[in-house]
Structures are given as C-alpha cells and as structure tokens.
Chain A
C-alpha cells in the first residue's frame, strides 16, 4: 500500500501531506524536547495557574523567617515541618478562597478599598495617607497600584466572608456548662510507684545474655556507611578573598559617600501649624493665611517662637514642646515643608508654607552637620563595600561557569578549579546523618549518597548551601557500613541490654500489680507486697499541683470507675519509674460557681473557638470541592 501511495501521490499534493505530517512534530515534538518543566505552574486551581515564580517567592520569604528564628538548626526545621508543602498549601488555599468569594458574589466597594489602603501604616506620612509614598512603596515591591488594589480587594472580600462566619458564631448554655464541668473536674487517684533505681542495682546480665543482645541488635552497632569528599565552593566572600580595588575606584566610591553624606544633613527645627484641609474654599484659605501672618508678625515683633507655638499651634504632637520637631532628616516631611525647611537659614523665620495639613511657620534652630570622614578613615569600609558588590556580580558568573564546567567534566573537579582559579578542598568522613565542616550541610550529605555520585563517582549537581553560596562535591573515598566486634562495643551493649531488661521487668511488675487490683485486691495492700510506694492523691484538678504530670494525664484519661470494674492503668514516668494509677472518684466542675462576668468571658472565648473552627472547616470543604493539581516535583 505504501508503494501505491508513493506512486500516486506526487507534485504539490505530496508536499501538502508532508506539511500536514510535519505540523505535530514541529509543534509538540521539539517543544517537548526543550521543555524541562521548569516553567510549569506550581499548581492549577480550577484551571487558574499559580505560577512557579509565585511559589518560589513565597517559599523564600517563609524560609528566611524560619532561618532568622532558628539559626543553625533552620535547615532541619524546614524539612521537619514540611515547609514546602505548607507554602504550597497556603497558596492553593488562598487561590481557592479568592475564586470562591468572587463566584459567590462578595464585592468590595471602591470606598472600602480606599479606606483600607489609607489605613496601611507604611503608606502614611505624619499619620496621614500619602499618595507619593504609596506609589514608591509599591514600586519598591515591584507592584503597580492596579495590581496591589486587585490583590487587596480579594483579601478584603475573603476577610468579609471569614469574619462574617466567625463573627456570627455563638456558644450556648449547655456547651458552656459542659466545658466547665470538664475543665474544673477533680479526681481522686491512688498511685503505687515502682522504684527503678532500686531494681536496677539488683539486676545483672551474664556474658551470654550480652552476646545474645548484641547478635539481635547488630544493626545498631554498625559503623555506618561513610564517604570522604572533595569539593569546590563559591560565595562572594570566597571569590573576593583579600582583593583590593584600585585607587581610582576607591576615589569614586569615596565621592559617592560624600554626596550621600551631604544629602544626609539634618536640621533641628520648630513649626507652628494652623490646620486647613486640602482643597478648602478660597475664603477659608485667605482667613487662615491672614491668621498665620499675624502670628509671624508677633514673632518678628519679639515674642518667642516657642511661646507662640505653645499657645497657637494646632499640631497636637509639637505644640506643647514649643513647636519643636527635634532633628529632622530628608524624606521625613511632606515635600513643600521639606523644601522650605532645607532652604531656610538658621534663626530666620520662614514665610507661611502651605501643605496638605494647613499653613506652617518654620524656624530652624540649628543645622546638624557632622563633618564627613576622610578617605583614609573610610578606606576599610569602602573596600568592604566594594568587595561585597563586586563579589556578588562575579559570584553569579562564577557559579554559572562552575555548573557548566562540573557538568562537562563529570569525572574531576580539577578542570573547573583551574579555569576558575578555585581551590579544591577535601572533607573528613561524612555519614548520611552527620559530619564536620561541609558535612554539616544537609544538601551535601544528601547529594553525596546519590547513586551517580556515590557509585559512579560523578560530580554532584551544583548544591545551594545558603543565599549566594554554592558548591559541587565528588566522592573520593567510600566505606560501606561495617560490623563491629562485640569486644569493641561491649560497654554500649551492656548499658542498652540492662536498660531493656529493666524496662521489661518494671513493666511486668506494673502489670502484675494492675492485674491484682483488677481481680479485686486493694492497691494499697498489693503495693506493700510488691515493695511499691503507695499514695492517695486526694482531690486533684487537671493542673494537679504536686502530682507527676504523667500520672495526672493517665488518671484523667481513665474512664469513670463502675462498681465491679476498677479503673486502673500502668504508666512509665520520666525518671524510669513505673506507676500504677487507679481512679477512685470523679467530681465534675460546678458551672454555678462562675459569676456573670466570668461566664460572659468564657462564653466569648468558646464562641471565638467555634468561629475559628467553622471558618477553617468551611475553607477546607471549599478546597476539597475545588479541582486542584499540583506540580509533581513539589
């Protein structure tokens, strides 16, 4: 049939057919070949993408916070708490909620939006919303006002929904009573404690028992598998070392410092304010202006600025201080005020200045002007500055080339080291669970035991060890896990075997005691026979004061005793002792002892708890309803 085709199809028809066949290859084949999945969205919620970039940003922010809080243990903490999953879940949840409030019909009016924006403190200057500041803060965040407003509108709508549910939550009398009965419940317990220390001294194991224990637990006494590594590290500090910029560069840096310093002069000043809202009618404006000119006249006539400020200024913050603003730098005041302030000679009264707050009179008491430091004094600081900046820009290039070279020469680090002028370091022994130096880094330990690196002795991928800090490692020596001789670990074995024997024995004795009680004996008598310490706790509450917390927990977890069925439990205590706990009586808390105000407070607390749970549950239900796909590698 193919022959037929070839014979009959010729000329332009053949080209058309070939063209049609090519299309899918051109569109999908090549695309597939190049796509590495890096641009796939982190998740798709009902067909709406959550870009991977957004996920990365959110993850970085969270990671930084954990690092700041936890310091050295941060990496473990991040893994243990499943930060990646948490971040992704959070993003998905907020997308679900955003979509829901939109679809359900929650709408935020322009007025509410404007009010919310004006209440954000970072957008305020002198306690009032400032448009310029608003725009510059957003620009710094890399957001346009339109983007920000869309996002804020969504947030407010979600808040409306959640606060609406939480705010209408309530707690009822039966619930309040039930809570008090439980919370203030008291129990009377009998306890018999078996002393571990006394029993331990009577315990001994012969050599055969120790050997048997060793044979059974040999895996625990192995010398774990370990490797030695060589590695290349790149970070701005490592890249720059002790490098020093040339004199011309230093001079430029010094000049930059000088101009920054000049812009930093500050002034100690006072002002008097007569308030006048923005856009006030002309008559009102003229009236206030006349008033402030009269004040200026009084000051020129010899009255002290401070006295006039005290009696006339309408700026609540400074009036009582004689109008003093303290020391003011650039960028702290609204623009017209700042302009006038920095143009003014000390001791000379300004003309009236109009700002959005009203009319001001300004007096500069003093120009605070520290002399700039000399280039020689600044030298070390300038060099450090230069190294940091220069190091960072070189770092990115070096890290890139390191990745390429380590990949092109997978069997050695030397070519990369030579090309980049780096030193190959070597490490001490590193196991899967720990090591010194670079072995402290989790990514290093993980990478070292990947089959390609461990068995094929290839270079690892570029590993991120911190912000602006990467490394490539390769295995130079590998030692598999090894059994150790009994004699070498005898002390450890003896300790562990004795501990195990003791635990077993204590548990057996405890169980025997409990059994005796269950079969109708009194705990007190059984305890005496078993050489256990007997106590009756009397009535204790959940917080229980003197009673050991483990005993208390067990006592409050026991079910209420029924006539012929003693309620008894064996627990291990923190110090190794074992306690047999018997619940004798239960006395519920009494809701009538609460006065009206305590009751109201508790009712409020329970209602809030209900509200929070309901909102969380509602959100979860919405999420389960949504069609969510997350990226496989996350």
Chain B
C-alpha cells in the first residue's frame, strides 16, 4: 500500500484517479440508472397488459352468441397478446369452432396456438387437445407423432391413454394394450380414477 506524505499529495492522487476512471464511473452509474428505469418501465407496461387482458377477458366471458364471442377473442388477442388471457381466449375460440362442427378450422387454430402459446406451460395440454382433433379428422399418424414427444409426468398419463385410443382404433391391439398398461401404471401412481381406462383396456 502507498503511503502519503501530506494531504496535498492525497488530493492529487485522488484527482489522478478520477481523471483516469471518472468516465467509466459516470457511465456505470448512468447505465445502472437506465437499466433500473427500463426494468421498472417494463414491469409497468407488463402490468398494464395484464390488466387490459383481464378486462378484455371479462368482456369475452360476458359476450353471448358465437359471433360476439369470436370477435371478443379477436379483440383480446390483438390488445393483450402476451397475457395468459390470450391463450384462454384462443382455446375458447377452438371450442366454439368444434361446437359449430368446423373441426378442421379448429385444428388449424389450435395448431398455431400450440406453436406459440403465451404461456409455455400449456404446451402439453394443447398438444393433447390437438392430437385428439387429429384423431377425429382421421389423421392417426399425425396424432401418434405428436404423442411421441415426452411430456411432464402427469400429462404423460393422459398422453398414453390417448395413444392407446388411437392405436386401438387402428387395430394395433398389442401396441394399444401396451400404451393402456403404461397409462394404468401412471394413473395408479398419481392416484387417479382409472375406471374408464380399465374398461378400454379390458375391451381389447
């Protein structure tokens, strides 16, 4: 460590130091300020999005009649696309299309939602619903392809059951039995009511 003869020397040393590092110190402080401001701004903006999403979802829930609902979905998805409400709204649109018998339109809509949901945790659930639509549309191969990817534990139970359904429909009995058995094992682990699953398995 350096030692100083007197105060003047100390002051000079400080000045030197400041001349060398002053800019970086100021830049650092400014940067930190900007980052903090940016973070706060982002938070504020996000909260506003959430609030808008909630309000638009409220409107959607109150809307009566298919047309009114679909246009409320459209409005919500435009106004608050990055909110969980956008996912729920799209899912509601899919349900409506199915109820109207427009299965293929529903499939297309669910496909694009499951490719980019606002909340990634929903992906397994979206995939399962999509696979069911494929089955309904007679596209068993696409359904099985979708169900091949591993899913988080609890979803794997539903996925295996669905795989069993599709395989059984195709007459691939042994594979179906295997899928049902694996679903039964998982269902037991999760403590689920496997009554219907057992019926399907026993019927093979």
Contacts and interface: CB of A to CB of B under 8 A. Distances in A.
B84 A170 contact: no
Contacts, number: 114
B169 A106 contact: no
Interface string B147-170: 000001111011000000100010
B135 A625 contact: no
B92 A108 contact: no
Contacts of B67: none
Contact of A560 (B124, B154, B196, B204): B204
Interface string A171-192: 0111100110010010000000
B133 A105 contact: no
B88 interface: yes
A560 B171 CA distance: 13
A622 interface: yes
Interface stretch (B5-13, B19-27, B44-52): B44-52
A86 to B, nearest CB: 11
Interface stretch (A161-169, A244-252, A292-300): A161-169
A614 interface: yes
B121 interface: yes
A600 to B, nearest CB: 10
For the complex, would chain A's binding face be called helix, strand, loop or mixed by DSSP majority?
helix
B15 interface: no
For the complex, would chain B's binding face be called helix, strand, loop or mixed by DSSP majority?
helix
A556 interface: yes
A404 B25 CA distance: 65
Interface string A573-616: 00000000000001000000000000000000000000001101
Contacts of B200: 178, 182
Contacts of A101: 84
Given A108-B54, A164-B91, A178-B165, A614 B84 contact: no
Interface residues of A, number: 41
A205 interface: no
Interface string B93-104: 011001100010
A621 B159 CA distance: 14
A107 B50 CA distance: 6
A345 to B, nearest CB: 51
Nearest to B101: A173
B190 interface: yes
Contacts of A613: 158
A167 B91 CA distance: 9
B136 A614 contact: no
B154 A106 contact: no
Interface string B168-203: 010000000000000000000010000010011011
Interface of B: 46-47, 49-51, 53-55, 57-58, 83-85, 88, 91-92, 94-95, 98-99, 103, 119, 121-122, 124-125, 128-129, 132-133, 135-136, 152-155, 157-158, 165, 169, 190, 196, 199-200, 202-204
20 contacts: A100-B121, A104-B121, A105-B46, A105-B53, A107-B51, A109-B55, A112-B58, A161-B88, A164-B85, A167-B92, A168-B92, A168-B95, A169-B95, A170-B98, A172-B136, A175-B136, A556-B202, A613-B158, A618-B154, A621-B152
For the complex of A and B, the 6 pairs showing the least CB-CB separation, nearest first, are: A164-B88, A168-B91, A620-B154, A172-B136, A105-B50, A107-B50
